[in-house]
Amino acid sequence: MSLRRAPLTAAAFLAAGALLAGCTSGSAATPAASEPTGEITFWSSLSGMADVAAAFNESQDDITVDFEEIPNGANGGYTKLSAAIDSGTGPDVVGVEYYRLPGFAASGQVVPVDDLVPAATLDEYSDQVRGLVTFGDETYGMPYDAPPLVMWYRQDVLDAAGVDVPTTWDEFEAAARAVRKADPDAYLTSFFTNEPPLAPLAWQAGASWFGVDGDHWKVSIDDEASTKVADYWQKLVDEDLVKEQVGFSDEWNADLNEGVVNGWVGGSWSASGLMTRTEAAGQKGKWIAAVPPSWDGEPSGALSGGTSFAVTKNSENPAAAAAFLEFLTTDPAAVEARGDVGTAYLAYPGLNEVAEKVAPTGYFGNDIYQVFDEASAQVAPGWAWGPDYDITNTALVDAVTGAPTLGAALEKTQGATVDGLEQLGLDVSE
């Protein structure tokens, strides 16, 4: 996985960076009984974090943060992190995506922050986001961003096909048909086989793949709602209404530039990646963001990715690490310092006004942060990531290629996940 995107495009890194780009804030100014001092190390794959660390270093004299950029998860960042922590050379503070955090927490590689960060600060987060970093009774990280699932469309292509922005999945299918009809070379959007967005789409449809049932994990990846989503996309693929392809690939970049692919089932983080990829093709002002279509007329949403920052067990100065952690995730100055490298949608209340000001929103045809707000407000409750989501993700990607249908792929993923977790000795029910 780690090598996957490296050869293909630097833009992918930018996109990944954008994912993380908007969310730093902190309250470094919160003085503890005795001010923490010293030197700490900070690893992240998010672009612009070097500037955040530099801003923190300038803002006070007690703590010095050494920043090191690591590859993103798809490029082996977590492999490196895990090996470093196990060998005692890990950083003090590190960025971990929500889906990966339970794994690091379960292996004890990151430590709870409940005693390090004021409870009042943690209580500011919404229950949904807080839930993504809370396992058992302990909080294993500070949420950085909470990027909602967002649809991106070429407004001019929708206009040419004579359709409005789809508000239901039925309308989405009709729009896909209309785009194909208006231009036989064009597709409304693509379906990524390497990163199938089935998890956020299932979440949006009301599914919950993982849950805690007493003292065991309940895994329901092939439940009714998820199967409905899989069958729907399978139909779009079968009827050649969406283009099946490898996302973030050179082919996909070319398709975006040439108007072959005119939409993206992405997240709020997609914006800067989209801009990087399509700016040279003169597509400024043509792209718009939209909330995901609904299944039953009732608006519903999901999160698409997102990162938390955590303190590792290697940290010899957790107090200083926590001070930086707070600055990073809750301080508007951190958002400003990070600048316009992305369009982050931050988890801590009150930061998105700042993020919106520094983000390159002018590239788009509508007010994207207003869409983010709307999409964020309708996120369906109750989703949790499993104890070792890498097992699930690998199985899902393999099954999407290997299984005859997406529905069958979900069944295979369910089986592989249950087997994998049981092999680790966990108690699992289906």
- Residues at the interface with another protein (CB under 8 A): 1, 3-8, 76, 79, 82, 103, 105-108, 135-136, 193-194, 212, 215-217, 246, 249-251, 254-255, 387-388, 390-391, 393-394, 397-398, 400-402, 420, 423-427
Closest to another protein by CB, 124 vs 244, is 244
DSSP letters, 166-212, are PSBHHHHHHHHHHHHHH-TT-BS-EEESSS-THHHHHHHTT--SEEE
Closest by CA position to 37, among listed 67, 62, 65: 62
Q: What's the closest the beta carbon of residue 412 comes to another protein, in angstroms?
A: 11
Q: What's the closest the beta carbon of residue 393 comes to another protein, in angstroms?
A: 8
Closest to another protein by CB, 6 vs 182, is 6
Closest to another protein by CB, 8 vs 50, is 8
Beta bridge partners of 143: 308
Q: What are the distances in angstroms from CA 45 to CA 70, 75, 146, 183?
A: 5, 10, 17, 39
Q: What's the closest the beta carbon of residue 4 comes to another protein, in angstroms?
A: 4
First-to-final CA distance of the chain: 28
Which residue is listed with tokens 């730093």? 24
Closest to another protein by CB, 95 vs 112, is 112
How far apart are the C-alpha atoms of 36 and 258, rounded to whole Å? 54
Closest to another protein by CB, 136 vs 297, is 136
Closest to another protein by CB, 186 vs 288, is 186
Closest to another protein by CB, 30 vs 245, is 245
Q: What's the closest the beta carbon of residue 60 comes to another protein, in angstroms?
A: 35
Which residue is listed with tokens 């809750």? 330
Beta bridge partners of 429: 218
Closest by CA position to 410, among listed 225, 192, 206: 225
Closest to another protein by CB, 162 vs 402, is 402
Q: How far is CA 124 from the centre of its chain?
A: 21
Does the CA dihedral 233-235-241-246 come out positive or negative? positive
Closest to another protein by CB, 37 vs 220, is 220
Q: What's the closest the beta carbon of residue 190 comes to another protein, in angstroms?
A: 12
* Full 3-state SS string of 303-370: ECCCEEEEEECCCCCHHHHHHHHHHHHHCHHHHHHHHHHCCCCECCCCCHHHHHHHCCHHHCCCCHHH
Q: What's the closest the beta carbon of residue 89 comes to another protein, in angstroms?
A: 17
Q: What's the closest the beta carbon of residue 293 comes to another protein, in angstroms?
A: 26
Are 65 and 281 in contact by the 8 Å Cβ rule? The answer is no
How far apart are the C-alpha atoms of 117 and 130, rounded to whole Å? 14
Q: What are the distances in angstroms from CA 232 to CA 142, 184, 384?
A: 36, 22, 23
Three-state secondary-structure class, residue 255: helix
Closest to another protein by CB, 158 vs 221, is 221
Q: What's the closest the beta carbon of residue 65 comes to another protein, in angstroms?
A: 28
Q: How far is CA 186 from the centre of its chain?
A: 27
Q: What's the closest the beta carbon of residue 275 comes to another protein, in angstroms?
A: 20
Q: What's the closest the beta carbon of residue 421 comes to another protein, in angstroms?
A: 8
